[in-house]
Each structure stands twice: as C-alpha cells, then as structure tokens.
Amino acid sequence: EGQGQNSEVTTPPEEINRMNELDLKSATLDGKMTMEGFTEEIGDHLKLGSVFTFRVTVLQASGILPEYADIFCQFNFLHRHDEAFSTEPLKNNGRGTPLGFYHVQNIAVEVTESFVEYIKTKPIVFEVFGHYQQHPLHLQGQDLNSPPQPSRRFFPPPMPLSKPVPATKLNTMSKPSLGQSVSKYDLLVWFEISELEPTGEYIPAVVDHTGGLPCQGTFLLHQGIQRRITVTIIHEKGSELHWKDVRELVVGRIRNKAEVDEAAVDAILSLNIISAKYLKSSHSSNRTFYRFEAVWDSSLHNSLLLNRVTPYGEKIYMTLSAYLEVR
C-alpha cells in the first residue's frame, strides 16, 4: 500500500485519516480489553490455539544518504527471513527529506507458547535497503584514467581464515591430490545454531549484528542447553554441482581470539548428521538449496571456553568444516 514519493514533506490527507481511524480502533480495543479484565502484562490476553491478528505500519524513513536509490523497508520476525514483508520501493530525490512509505501490513499468527514468549522478549526486525549509486568521477576528484576505489566502509575487515578441521571418519587425501582444483563454484552458505526450548522445539539462537558488518554476527548462546547446527548451501541452478551426501561435519579449534594458533592441539568433534535434503523454494526458481542438520553437544569438547559463561566483551571462535560428496 505504499504511496509514491512527493516533492513536499507532507503526509497525504487520506493517510492521516486512515491513521486516525487506526488510533481510534486501537483505543477502543484497549478499552474493551480493560473492561473485560485483561491485565497489562504482555501476552496475557492471548489464548493458545487462537489466531492473533496485528498490524504493522511503516510511516517514513529519514536520514537516507543521496547515494542510494529505490529505497524500501523490509521487516520480519527474527530467523524468519524467508517470510519477510516489504514496502514498495521509493525514489530518493537526495534532498534529505523523509521518504513516506505509509505501508500497512496485517499479520495473522496462530498463538503458541513460543509465540507468546517471542513477543515478550524479542523484536521484529526492520531493515532499510537501497541501490548504491557511485558519484560521477569528477565529484570524487578522481583521475579519469584510474578506476574509482570503493569506500572501505562498505567492506568488512578481513578475518583470519582457519585451515579446515581434518575429518575423522574419512580416508586422508593423498598429497598429490591436495591443492588440485577440478572446478570452482560460487556458493552462499548460511549457518544457524538452534537451542532446545522448554516446549521441546529447537529455536534458532539470536545473532548480534551490532557491528553492522556482513558475515560478522555473533551467536548469543545460552549455557547448558542442547543445540543443533544447520547449514544451508545455495548456488545457481544449471551448474554441474549436485550434492549426494554429507560425509562428515566436524568442529574444532575453540579459541577466544580470531587468530588461529595452528600449533595448538584441541579436541575435534565429529557431529551426528540427523538430516540432509534439498529444499523447494518459492522465492527463487533459479537457485538450488541444500540443507543439512547435526547435533552439537559443546560439552564434549572439554573446553573451558565453552563450559563457562563467557565474560562480557569476550567472544569465542570455532572452526567448522563440512565434507560433502558430489555426484
């Protein structure tokens, strides 16, 4: 329900009327809930098994840099990026004026114990996206003979790479075959760590993206809870890459710094693979999704770093290596 961008910074009259009506309905609902004896505690009025409908309204975005065009807002529940809601893209005139989305989204959810716990403790994620457009070279004072250098702030600092954790169940590759490249493919890999909830469900752990850099989030894990690790591999269709089986998933090199001490010796844990399959995607028919899941008991590493609560400001790093068989 997004509106086109106007040259003036005014809320369209029909949007003002609609929002006033929404506020009136909301006030009426609050009054009704109070009369019927509902408490102010979040989620107390929800009945398990019922369908709860709520509304998300996206008004405006301000402070958008002029380098970005086709601005749109996307929002979703944590860990449900595959079910995201989006506004219509708006043009950015670069004048610094707020962009008016005025998008209203009604969402219906079946009430479960996990959902009630979610709305009490977790947020809805809102993200604003746009297409980056580089300035003309003369505005950057660049020499026309040299290509423009992208700003370093758009690239994460390189993280030290760890050598793969050696497999424990596979035959060691012969030295002549090491380093030989038969073919190369571009892969997108998602890693997810889930923890066992009191309801018996495995819920993905929260990932902290405070740094704002891609691929450098921090998993926020609880102590003493059963976990599973899920890996999803995505690549373009049409390639000769066909996954046959996951031979082994191993975890090792537990440490409290990004740099790896290759001389250090620690326990290598081979995880139990409980599922491996291709996924059907309704969002992109041009990509192949292959996902496998394994049980991870961190206590089996016998690592002090994993068997205690991590002090504030400290991070724990580990290396995960997957060995897959292709057809």
Average pLDDT over residues 269-290: 83
Where do the domains of the chain lie, and which CATH numbers do they carry? 13-132 (2.60.40), 159-326 (no CATH)
Q: Is the pLDDT of residue 49 over 80?
A: yes
Q: Is the pLDDT of residue 97 over 90?
A: no
CA distance 92 to 71: 7
How does pLDDT run across 187-243, given as a tens digit for each residue?
A: 889 899 999 988 888 999 888 877 666 677 889 888 888 899 999 998 887 767 889
**pLDDT in the model for residue 285:** 67
Q: What are phi and psi of 76, to 5 degrees?
A: -165, 165
Q: Is the pLDDT of residue 38 over 60?
A: no
pLDDT: is 107 or 265 the higher one?
A: 107
Token duo for residue 92: 């950015």
Q: What integer best gives the mean pLDDT of the chain?
A: 76
DSSP 150-202: PPGGGSPPPPPPPPPPPPSSSPPPPGGGTT--S-----EEEEEEEEE-TTS-E
Q: Is the pLDDT of residue 141 over 50?
A: no
pLDDT: is 18 or 45 the higher one?
A: 45
Q: Is the pLDDT of residue 136 over 60?
A: no
Which segment, 139-143, 170-174, 207-211, is predicted with the most confidence on average?
207-211
Percent of the chain with pLDDT over 70: 70
| Measured torsion, CA atoms of residues 103, 21, 107, 47, in degrees rounded to the nearest 10 | 160
Token duo for residue 21: 């009506």
Residue 14 — very low, low, confident or very high, per pLDDT cuts 50/70/90? low
Q: Is the pLDDT of residue 175 over 80?
A: no
| Measured torsion, CA atoms of residues 160, 324, 207, 275, in degrees rounded to the nearest 10 | -160
**pLDDT in the model for residue 273:** 93
Poorest-pLDDT segment among 33-42, 89-98, 164-173, 305-314: 33-42
Task: Decide if 61 contacts 71 (C-beta within 8 A).
Answer: yes
Average pLDDT over residues 31-36: 43
**pLDDT in the model for residue 216:** 76
Token duo for residue 68: 């970005």
Residue 41 — very low, low, confident or very high, per pLDDT cuts 50/70/90? low
Residue 17 — very low, low, confident or very high, per pLDDT cuts 50/70/90? low
Residue 121 — very low, low, confident or very high, per pLDDT cuts 50/70/90? confident
Q: What are phi and psi of 138, to 5 degrees?
A: -70, -25
**pLDDT in the model for residue 276:** 92
Q: Is the pLDDT of residue 94 over 80?
A: no
**pLDDT in the model for residue 143:** 46
